[in-house]
Chains A and B, each alone.
Chain A
Amino acid sequence: MTKIDTSRPETVLPTPSHTVGPFYGHALPFPGGGDIAPIGHPDTITVQGYITDGEGNPLPDAFVELWGADPEGNIPQVDGSIRRDPASGGYLGRNGVEFTGWGRVQTDANGHWYARTLRPGARGQHAPYLSVCVFARGLLVHLYTRIYLPGDEAALASDPLLRRVDEARRGTLIAADQGNGTYRFDIRLQGEGETVFLEFQ
Chain B
Amino acid sequence: MTLTQHDIDQEIAAEHAAYEKRIADGAPVEHQPRRDYAPYRSSVLRHPKQPPVTIDVAKDPELVELSSPAFGERDITEIDNDLTRQHNGEPIGERITVSGRLLDRDGRPIRGQLIEIWQANSAGRYAHQREQHDAPLDPNFTGVGRTLTDADGHYHFTTVQPGPYPWRQHLNAWRPAHIHFSLFGTAFTQRLVTQMYFPSDPLFPYDPIIQSVTDDAARQRLVATYDHSLSVPEFSMGYQWDIVLDGPNATWIEEGR
Chain A contact residues, CB within 8 Å of chain B? 1-4, 6, 9, 12-28, 53-55, 57, 59, 65, 67-69, 75-86, 89, 92, 100-102, 120, 123-126, 129-131, 133, 135-144, 160-161, 164-165, 169, 189-191, 194-201
Per the bound structure, the CA–CA distance linking A21 and B247 in Å amounts to 22
Per the bound structure, the CA–CA distance linking A83 and B212 in Å amounts to 35
Of A12, A79, A197, A200, the residue contacting B71 (CB under 8 A) is A79
Q: How far is the CB of A95 from chain B (nearest CB, A)?
A: 9
Q: How far is the CB of B248 from chain A (nearest CB, A)?
A: 6
Q: How far is the CB of B178 from chain A (nearest CB, A)?
A: 8
Of B45, B55, B74, B245, the residue contacting A200 (CB under 8 A) is B55
Of all chain B residues, which has the CB nearest A4? B242
Q: Write out the residue numbers on chain B whose beta carbons fall within 8 Å of the beta carbon of A139.
A: 35, 43, 46-47
Of A18, A129, A198, the residue contacting B222 (CB under 8 A) is A18
Given contacts A22-B130, A200-B57, contact A69 B64 (CB under 8 A): yes
B8 at the interface (CB under 8 A from A): no
Max chain A CB contacts within 10 Å: which of B47, B128, B218? B47
B48–A189 touching, CB < 8 Å = yes
Of all chain B residues, which has the CB nearest A125? B62
Per the bound structure, the CA–CA distance linking A126 and B189 in Å amounts to 17
Of A9, A12, A14, A201, the residue contacting B54 (CB under 8 A) is A201
B100 at the interface (CB under 8 A from A): yes
Q: Sort chain B's interface into a size bin.
A: 35 or more
Of B46, B193, B210, the residue contacting A53 (CB under 8 A) is B46
B33–A18 touching, CB < 8 Å = yes
B150 at the interface (CB under 8 A from A): no
Per the bound structure, the CA–CA distance linking A130 and B189 in Å amounts to 14
Per the bound structure, the CA–CA distance linking A76 and B209 in Å amounts to 36
B236 at the interface (CB under 8 A from A): no
Chain B contact residues, CB within 8 Å of chain A? 31-35, 37, 40, 42-50, 52-57, 60-65, 67-80, 86, 100-101, 103, 105-108, 114, 116-118, 120, 126-131, 142-144, 180, 182, 188-189, 191-195, 209-210, 212-213, 217-225, 227, 240-248
Per the bound structure, the CA–CA distance linking A189 and B20 in Å amounts to 28
Given contacts A4-B103, A15-B246, A16-B218, contact A25 B80 (CB under 8 A): no
10 contacts between A and B (CB under 8 A): A3-B240, A19-B209, A23-B126, A27-B117, A27-B118, A67-B67, A164-B53, A196-B50, A200-B248, A201-B55
B33–A135 touching, CB < 8 Å = no
Given contacts A4-B107, A79-B71, contact A197 B64 (CB under 8 A): no
Given contacts A12-B107, A140-B35, contact A191 B221 (CB under 8 A): no
A190–B126 touching, CB < 8 Å = no
Q: How far is the CB of A23 from chain B (nearest CB, A)?
A: 4
Of all chain A residues, which has the CB nearest B221? A15
Per the bound structure, the CA–CA distance linking A169 and B47 in Å amounts to 17
Of B71, B108, B213, the residue contacting A81 (CB under 8 A) is B71
Q: Write out the residue numbers on chain A whose beta carbons fall within 8 Å of the beta carbon of B65.
A: 67, 131, 144, 200
Per the bound structure, the CA–CA distance linking A190 and B43 in Å amounts to 11
B209–A79 touching, CB < 8 Å = no
Per the bound structure, the CA–CA distance linking A118 and B237 in Å amounts to 47
Per the bound structure, the CA–CA distance linking A14 and B215 in Å amounts to 12
Q: Write out the residue numbers on chain B whose beta carbons fall within 8 Å of the beta carbon of A142.
A: 191, 193
B69–A6 touching, CB < 8 Å = no
A15–B243 touching, CB < 8 Å = yes
Per the bound structure, the CA–CA distance linking A13 and B224 in Å amounts to 15
A12–B106 touching, CB < 8 Å = yes
